[in-house]
Amino acid sequence: MTIAASPFRHRCNFIVELARRLHACGTSTPRLEGAIRVVSQRLGVHTEIWSNPTGIILSFSTPQNSDGAEITRVLRLSPGDIDLRAMAMVDDIAERVMAGTLEVEAGLQALTVLDRPPTRKRLAATVLAFGLASGSVAALLRTSVADVLASALIGLLIGLIAVPAAKRPRLNEASEALAAMIATFVASAIAAFLVPLSLQTVVIASLIVLMPGLMLTTAVAELSSGNWASGTARFAGASVVLLKLTFGTIAATQLVHAIGWQPRLATGASLAPYWEWLGLLVGSGAFAVLFGAARRDVPVVMAGAWIGYGLTRIGGEYLGLASGHFAGGVFFAGLGVAAISNAYGRIFRRPGALLRVSGIILLVPGSVGFRSLTSVLERDVALGLDTAVAVLAALTALVAGLLFGNLLVPPRRHL
C-alpha cells in the first residue's frame, strides 16, 4: 500500500506516535516540531504542532482543507530523558515510512517495540555508569586518587537511587535532593574518618549525572529560536533541579556540623596528566551507557565526547580564544561539534544527536550553576553572582556556537 493509499487517520496516528516517541527521547522543541513537519509533508498531512516539555498539541487536516482541523490530539507527557538508541530507531522507522519501504501501519506497529522495559543487565550497566561517570569527572579535574575513588563510590550509591526512582513518582520528585544529601554526607564521612578529600569537587563530581547543564543549554537554545514557552518552562525545570541539589547539599552540611564531624580537606598534588585522558576515555563510555546508546553507536557517542573536549582545549589553550570576558573555547567547541554532528547525520543518514549530545555534555555549565546557588544560599552573594555571570557567559558561548555550527552545516531533518 502506498503512502497516499493509507487511510488519513492511520497517517495521523503514526505522526502522533512519532511525536510522542521523539518527546520521550528528550528531543528539543524546535527539532521535534521541525521533524514532525517534514514527516507530515511527506505523508500528505497538514499538521499544526505545539510542543513543550510536558505536552504536545497536534491538529491534522488534509492539504485540501488546511484552514480547518479535522483531528486534534492533546498529549500530556512527562519531560523526556535522552535516549539515543530510541531516537535512532524512531529516525530509522520514519525514514523507511517516508521512503515507502515500510507501510504506515507497519511503522506504527514498529514504534510500539520501544515500549519494552529495560532488562536487568541494562539497569545494572546504568548504575555502574553513574559511578564511572562520577569518577571520570574527578579524574578530568585532576584532583587526587582518593577523590576519584570517593566520587566513583558515591556515584554508584546515587545510581542505586536514581535508577529505581524513574518508576516511583514520589521518590523521583525528591531524588535530586536525596542524592545531594547522601553525596555530601558520605563525602564528609570519608574526609572525616578515612582520608582527606577535596570536598566540594567530590560532591560535584558525584552529582554530575544529575546536574541539569544539558537542560539549561537546551532551554537557552529554545529561547533563542523563538520557542519562548518551551524555553521558559525548561529553564524553570532546570532551575528547580539545581535548587533541589543545592538544598540537599546545604542540609547535609548542616547535619555534619551538628554531629560534630570535622572533614579534612586535601592539599596534596594533583594527578598526573595521563589521568585526564584516562578519565575522558572512561567517562565517554559511561555517558554512552547513560544516554542509552545502542551497542553499534557506542564508538560514535564516545567519539563525540572526545571531539567536544578536544575542541575546547584547542580553542581555549592553543588558539587563545578564551579570556576572562568570553568563553572562546566553549564557543569554538560548540561550533565544531554542531558542524561535525550535522555532517555525520547527512553522510550516514543517522541522527546527528549521536555525536552532538555527547559532544557538548562536558561543556555544559551545570556544575558552575550549582556552585553559584550554593554560594548564594550560604550568604556569599558576591561569589554567587560572580559565578552566575560565568554560567551565563558559558551558556551564551555554547548556544551561539551551536547556532553558528547549524548555519555552517544545516542539520539533516532536524535530528
Backbone angle region of 104, left / alpha / beta, with phi > 0 → left and psi within -120 to 50 → alpha: alpha
DSSP β-bridge partners for residue 73: 58
CB 134 within 8 A of CB 208: yes
User: If you ran DSSP here, which 8-state letter would residue 25 be given?
Assistant: T
CB 413 within 8 A of CB 35: yes
Q: What is the DSSP string of 346-375?
A: HHHTS-THHHHHHHHHTTS-HHHHHHHHHH
Average pLDDT over residues 238-250: 88
Average pLDDT over residues 272-297: 90
Estimate the crossing angle of helix 213-224 against helix 228-259, to 10 degrees: 160
Q: What are phi and psi of 138, to 5 degrees?
A: -60, -35
CB-count exposure of residue 4 (10 Å: 0-12, 13-18, 19+)? exposed
What is the C-alpha to C-alpha distance for residues 332 and 340, in angstroms, rounded to an integer? 12
What is the C-alpha to C-alpha distance for residues 31 and 33, in angstroms, rounded to an integer? 6
Of 302 and 112, which is predicted with more confidence? 302
What is the C-alpha to C-alpha distance for residues 404 and 334, in angstroms, rounded to an integer? 9
CB 210 within 8 A of CB 340: no
pLDDT tens figures, 14-67: 999 999 999 998 888 988 988 899 888 888 888 899 999 999 999 988 877 655
Of 65 and 132, which is predicted with more confidence? 132
DSSP β-bridge partners for residue 151: none
Neighbour tally for 170: CB within 10 Å: 8
The number of residues making up the chain comes to 415
What is the C-alpha to C-alpha distance for residues 127 and 179, in angstroms, rounded to an integer? 14
Q: pTM here?
A: 0.87
The residue extents of the domains of the chain are 8-115, 119-274, 291-415
Neighbour tally for 236: CB within 10 Å: 12
pLDDT score for 224? 86
Residues 6+ apart with CB under 8 A from 182: 154, 157, 158, 161, 248, 252
pLDDT tens figures, 182-218: 999 999 999 999 999 888 888 888 988 888 888 888 8
pLDDT band at 388 (very low <50, low <70, confident <90, very high): low
> In terms of Cα–Cα distance, which of 285, 265, 311 is closest to 147?
265
CB 43 within 8 A of CB 141: no
Of 90 and 370, which is predicted with more confidence? 90
What is the C-alpha to C-alpha distance for residues 372 and 380, in angstroms, rounded to an integer? 9
pLDDT score for 127? 93
CB 244 within 8 A of CB 180: yes
> In terms of Cα–Cα distance, which of 86, 69, 85, 75 is closest to 53?
75
What is the C-alpha to C-alpha distance for residues 388 and 153, in angstroms, rounded to an integer? 29
Maximum separation of any 2 CA atoms in the chain, in Å: 75
pLDDT at 368 over 50: no
CB 383 within 8 A of CB 409: no
CB-count exposure of residue 109 (10 Å: 0-12, 13-18, 19+)? middle
User: Percent of the chain at pLDDT above 90?
Assistant: 27
pLDDT score for 191? 92
pLDDT score for 339? 93
pLDDT at 292 over 50: yes
pLDDT score for 367? 46
pLDDT tens figures, 161-175: 988 888 888 888 889
pLDDT score for 300? 93
pLDDT at 97 over 80: yes
3-class state of residue 60 by DSSP: strand
| 229, three cell numbers | 514557552
Average pLDDT over residues 224-252: 89
pLDDT at 269 over 80: no
Q: How far is CA 409 from the centre of its chain?
A: 22
| 136, three cell numbers | 571520570
Average pLDDT over residues 147-161: 93
3-class state of residue 105 by DSSP: helix
What is the pLDDT of the chain when averaged over all its residues?
84
pLDDT score for 380? 52
> In terms of Cα–Cα distance, which of 81, 73, 32 is closest to 52?
32
